[in-house]
Amino acid sequence: MGSEFAGAVCGLTLLGYWIDRHYGTGIKATLIGAAIGVVGGMYNFIRQALALARESEREYRNAHAGKRDDDGTA
């Protein structure tokens, strides 16, 4: 997940850098690309982390479903 985040930030920053050099826009496109990369990367990172947490919770519940403690309670 971390490499996807870094890839989004680096890729969009480099795209912005190329746009700046090609069109002579100073540093604007580089900053915009970096910002979009951070926002998009964080969105994807959080989305994947929540999905992983839900899957882990589901597996935990399935593994412990129907088991009782030593005193006979659930």
The whole-number average pLDDT for the span 4-31 is 95
Q: Which percentage of the chain shows pLDDT scores above 70?
A: 88
Phi-psi region of 72 (alpha: psi -120 to 50; beta: other; left: phi over 0): left
pLDDT in tens, 11-24: 999 999 999 999 99
Confidence of residue 37 (pLDDT cuts 50, 70, 90): very high
Q: Is the pLDDT at 73 greater than 90, yes or no?
A: no
pLDDT at 71: 59
Radius of gyration over every alpha carbon of the chain, rounded to an integer in angstroms? 22
Query: Can you give the pLDDT at residue 70?
Result: 59
Question: What are the contacts of 6-10 at 24+ separation with CB within 8 A?
Answer: 6/41, 7/41, 8/37, 8/38, 8/40, 8/41, 8/44, 9/34, 9/37, 9/38, 9/41, 10/37
